[in-house]
A and B are shown apart, each in its own frame.
Chain A
Amino acid sequence: MKIYSYIILMAVTTYLIRMLPLTLFQKPIKSRFINSFLYYVPYTCLTVMTIPAIFYSTGSPISAVIGFFVAVALGLRGKSLPVVAAAACAAVFIAERLI
Chain B
Amino acid sequence: MDRKDFINGAKDSIAIVVGYFSVSFTFGIAAARAGISPLTATLMSLANVTSAGQFAGLNLIVAQSSYIEMILTQLVINLRYALMSLSLSQRLDSGATTPKRMLIAFANTDEIFAVSSVRPERVSPSYMAGLEIFPVISWASGTLFGAIANGLLPVSVSSALGIALYGMFVAIVMPVARVRRNVTFAVIIGAALSAAFYYLPVLNSVSAGFRIIICTIAASALAAWLFPVPDPNRGDQE
B110 & A49 in contact (Cβ 8 Å cutoff): yes
B165 to chain A, nearest CB (A): 7
Closest to A51 in B: B191
B223 & A36 in contact (Cβ 8 Å cutoff): yes
Residue B207, interface by CB 8 Å: no
In the assembled complex, the Cα of A46 lies from the Cα of B172 at a distance in Å of 9
A28 & B90 in contact (Cβ 8 Å cutoff): yes
What residues on B are CB-neighbors of A74 within 8 Å?
171
A48 & B157 in contact (Cβ 8 Å cutoff): no
Closest to A63 in B: B159
Contact of B168 among A22, A25, A59, A84 (CB under 8 A): A84
What residues on A are CB-neighbors of B110 within 8 Å?
45-46, 49
Hey, what's the 0/1 contact readout for A70-90 against B, CB within 8 Å counting as 1?
011011101111111111111
- Interface range, B side: 35 or more
A89 & B108 in contact (Cβ 8 Å cutoff): no
What residues on B are CB-neighbors of A4 within 8 Å?
40
Residue B47, interface by CB 8 Å: yes
What residues on B are CB-neighbors of A92 within 8 Å?
159-160, 162-163
Question: Which secondary structure dominates chain A's binding surface?
Answer: helix
In the assembled complex, the Cα of A83 lies from the Cα of B14 at a distance in Å of 11
B174 & A75 in contact (Cβ 8 Å cutoff): yes
Count of interface residues, chain A, beta-carbon cutoff 8 Å = 76
What residues on A are CB-neighbors of B162 within 8 Å?
57-59, 92
Contact of A11 among B47, B60, B215 (CB under 8 A): B47
Residue B153, interface by CB 8 Å: no
B105 & A19 in contact (Cβ 8 Å cutoff): yes
B229 & A39 in contact (Cβ 8 Å cutoff): yes
Closest to B221 in A: A37
A18 & B106 in contact (Cβ 8 Å cutoff): yes
What residues on B are CB-neighbors of A18 within 8 Å?
78, 81-82, 84-85, 105-106, 108
B61 & A84 in contact (Cβ 8 Å cutoff): no
Q: Would you mind naming 20 contact pairs between A and B with Cβ atoms under 8 Å apart?
A: A10-B47, A10-B48, A13-B70, A14-B53, A15-B106, A18-B106, A22-B105, A26-B89, A36-B232, A39-B229, A40-B229, A42-B113, A45-B80, A72-B170, A75-B172, A75-B173, A76-B175, A85-B164, A86-B164, A96-B160
Task: Kindly list 12 other residue pairs between chains A and B, CB separation below 8 angstroms, not including A44-B220, A68-B170.
Answer: A7-B43, A9-B71, A11-B47, A43-B187, A44-B219, A48-B219, A63-B159, A71-B170, A75-B175, A78-B174, A81-B171, A88-B166
